[in-house]
Structures are given as C-alpha cells and as structure tokens.
Amino acid sequence: MRKGVPGVPSNGYKIIAVDDEMGIVDSLSIFLKRSGYHFTGVTDPMEAIERVKNEHFDMMILDFIMTPIHGDEVVEEIRKFNQDLYILLLTGHKDLAPPLDTIRRLDIQGYCEKSDKFDQLLLLIESGIKSIGQMNEIKRINNELSDTYDKLEHAYLESIEVLRYTVEAKDPYTRGHSDRVSEYSVLIGEKLNLSEEELKILRIGGLFHDIGKIGIPDSILLKESKLTDDEYSQIKNHPTIGSHILQNATIFKDILPIVKHHHEKYDGNGYPSRLKGEEIPLFARISAIADTFDAMTSKRTYRDALSLDIVKAEIERCSGTQFDPALAKIFLSILDTEYDKIKEIQEKYN
C-alpha cells in the first residue's frame, strides 16, 4: 500500500482505486492522499479482486472499461465474498455505464464520469465515507451490546435517533418532519386494520425514512436556490444511502423497504429502483403519501404551507401515478372525516 502524504493527517479510511490507466491511478493517488485517505492503486482488475479478498478496504473506486475484465465483472466476483464494500464506478462517459439493473443488482453505490477535475468524485466519496462511518458505528454497537436483544434494540434506537435529529437539526424547515410522517403513516395503517407489529414497523420506518440524508453534503441539502442536475442526482441517493446505513442492524430489517423505496411512484417513474404498482412494498407506498403530504403542508424557504384544499386536490390528481389509488382514497377520507387528528399531530411536532 502506498504511504500517505507527509504532514497530512490520516482519517483512517482505506480506499482502493482500480484503473488500467496508470495515469488515472497516479492522479487519484495524489488527490486522495492529500485528502487524508490511505490509498492503494491497482491497474490489474484481477489483482484488485485478490487484494480485496485478503485486505480490508472501506471503499473501491473502479473503472468500468478495463482489460481483461470490465468493472461490473470485478464487482460480480467481489460480491461473492464481500457484500459490504462501498463501490463507486468511474466511466469515460455516462453512456458507457452499465445498465441501471446491473448497478442495482451488484449494489454499486454510485458512479460518475471521469474528469480532469475531481469535484464530483470528491462529493461522492465524502457522502460514501459518511455512510461507511455510520455503518461502522452500528457494527461497533452491535459487537459491544450483545448481551440481550432488549438492550441491543434500545441502543440501536438511541444511536439512530441521534442521527435522525442531526439531519433535522440542520434545517429548521424540516424539523419534526419524520415524526409527522411516522404518525400519518400509522393513521393510514390503522384504516387498513394492520396488526400492532405492522403499525410499529410503519412508525419506526417513518421516523427513519430520511436517515440517508446524513450522507448528503450540507452544501446541497441546505441550498436555497434551485439544485443543478448533478446536485439533484445526489439528493436522490439518500434512500439508498439510508438503506446502506441500516442494513447491518437486524432490528431494522423490516423498515428497510420504507427507507429505500419511499420515493418510488405507482406508475414506475420514481427512484431509486423505478418499481411500479404493487412491486413497491406496501409500507413504502403508505410512507410515500405521508411524506408528500407533510412536504406540501410544511412551510419552506421558497413558499408557505399549501392550503388543505390544494393539498387534497394534488393527492387526488396524483392518485394512480405518484400514489397507490386505494391508499390515496383512504388518506383523503382521513382528511375529510378525521382532520382533527392531523391537526393534533401537526401541533405536537411543530
């Protein structure tokens, strides 16, 4: 492994970069060492597979077009023995990237085009490192608190609550958002006669649905002007980042579908997986309505909260496209007949 830059403090994270062009590896070496990372550069993709098999790395930066095998084939081999490695794919051009289905199947966390400047890559790396850091913290807690399940559950909930409050404390306009989404989701679940255990999943899933925003740079998360296409793409990574943060905690396995899929749309035009109709998990479909309702009824820097009539009209308009039509009908009924419960929730968490 190549040594760090003298005088630059190490942040402790180990990154392996794989590209069959030595010039790219050397450029990444200088760039990442200056940023405090332990860096290993490899030009042979077969050697990279062996290095990952025998050494610990936190992140891999991987070229797609290589010889003798392409980047997706490298990941295919690595995923046979390592499911946790955070992988970023580099492409000469976005049109040369592998299909989205392949990226999802291999759990590749992100990709970007090669460039003489590394600004976009640095944003992806920083987001990934935040996610990795939280994963490591959860693993640490898991190892230390193994005496009883109750103590483990309590510790997990407390630690993730801290992360949740960290996200919401950044922006006063979203404070209380996750609490309200949680409560609205439960109201819908009760109308579906869900069990107490299922309502608990909805409640916790609502609380942590936006946890992945901890991995989004503040410069994007708190930006008041319109986001660029690249910045919006970064925001759209938060469901995947959140799922990645929580996936190693057994007690959160039931809420992962909510965290990962609450931005899917009923017509298949959502993200990150473009699931359609009942392909979208039920609890994620419920949370999607609750999440959007709270966004529309909350004040933002660029607009006031929308009136109830406008919100109801919007939910009705998006029924069957953005929302499950059956669930939209149930929520509209709640707004018509039990709006006092909605007001209680809003007053409690505003």
pLDDT at 147 (0 to 100): 60
DSSP-derived secondary structure letter, 2 = B
Q: For 66-125, how does the pLDDT look when each residue is reduced to its tens digit (9 = 90+)?
A: 889 988 899 999 999 998 899 998 887 666 667 778 888 888 888 888 776 777 888 889
Q: Is the pTM of this model over 0.85?
A: no
Mean pLDDT of 156-162: 71
Neighbour order of strands in the sheet with 38-42: 38-42, 14-18, 59-63, 86-91, 110-113
Burial per residue of 58-82, b for 16 or more beta-carbon CB atoms within 10 angstroms, e otherwise? bbbbbbbebeeebbbebbebbeeeb
pLDDT at 141 (0 to 100): 73
> Which tokens go with 183?
């409560």
Extended strands (E) in 49-166 = 59-63, 86-91, 110-113
| Inter-residue contact 129 to 242 (CB < 8 Å) | no
Full set of structural domains in the chain with CATH: 14-116 (3.40.50.2300), 146-349 (1.10.3210.10)
| Inter-residue contact 14 to 57 (CB < 8 Å) | yes
Adjacent-strand bridge partners of 303 = 300
Q: ∠ CA(198), CA(135), CA(37), 5° rounding?
A: 160
Lowest mean pLDDT of 97-106, 240-249, 337-346, name the range.
97-106
Active site residues: 213
Q: For 205-228, how does the pLDDT look when each residue is reduced to its tens digit (9 = 90+)?
A: 999 899 888 888 878 877 777 888
Q: 262 by DSSP, 3-state: which?
A: coil
> Which tokens go with 24?
């790219």
